[in-house]
Amino acid sequence: MVPVTRILVTGANGYIGRHVVAALLDAGATVLAVDRAPAGAAVYPPGVVQVQGDIFDDADALFARAGSVDTVLHLAWEKGFVHNDPVHIDKLPHHLRFFEAAMRAGVKHLVSLGTMHEVGYHEGAIDESTPTSPRSLYGIAKDALRRSLGVVADGKDVTLQWLRCFYIYGDDERGNSIFGKIAAAAAAGQHEFPFTSGKNEYDFIEVSELARQIAAASLQTSVTGIINCCSGRPVSLADQVESYIARHGYDISLAYGAFPDRAYDSPAVWGDDSKIRTILSAQA
């Protein structure tokens, strides 16, 4: 493992970012949190250094203010739960320019958060060689960023990692997933929740475990390329949600079939977790 002492994190105050920052601090890293808000407006754990600025405005100036940076971990992404919002394509060039600014600043280790939606319709395990054919604007933009980053970093002595995430739950009041919506419905006194067939099987991961995997991958450079951050096993949506409802004691039932299953969702898809397990085993 190459020791990382200063890691600049975008989206540090977001749903996933809050947990990643905590995991990085637990691992002993110095976290530089990029934030558009004025200094002190966002509350970070002790030890986090806030770097004020907009990554899409003047990234070169931002890196000048940050000083020495060993690793950039790019988590920021607008409307990640709204898969066909035009913002994904509109902001794509800005994400790439941010990474180009990082390379101009001399950062040698670039890490970005990806998504299984880059793959599109696929049945079975997803590994780093699985072909991509995204079917949503979100997946298209993420896949294009991954490919573009590989092109602009070619020959620049830069280590790249693309951390591909799957279906996330936990800390649901802050999230916008199906679990957060069910929690909100239960809090509002609803006793029935409109649902799909629930038959599709996905790779679910709790957000704090995801954060632990992201931190572990970002704090090493031996395992690179596409790394699936996942559980490595498929569970039906119905089983996962029913278990979630029971675990929280919600008085709410699922109205199966109220919504059709999305055309671009696979019957069963999960991540090959061999690379992240190698990383976690080495660090243990």
Given the structure tokens 């250094």, which residue do they identify? 49
Cross-strand pairs, 159: 109
Q: CA end-to-end span of the chain, whole Å?
A: 12
138 is catalytic: yes
Q: How many residues comprise the chain? A: 284
Q: Which of 44, 138, 169, 202 is catalytic?
A: 138
- The amino acid at residue 185 is A
- CA of 40: how far to CAs of 18, 33, 44, 145, in Å? 16, 12, 9, 32
DSSP E strand stretches across 88-239: 109-115, 124-126, 159-165, 167-169, 192-194, 201-202, 204-206, 225-229, 235-236
Q: Are 65 and 52 in contact (CB under 8 A)?
A: yes
Is 248 in contact with 186 (CB distance < 8 Å)?
yes
DSSP 8-class letter at 106 = T
**Residues taking part in catalysis:** 138
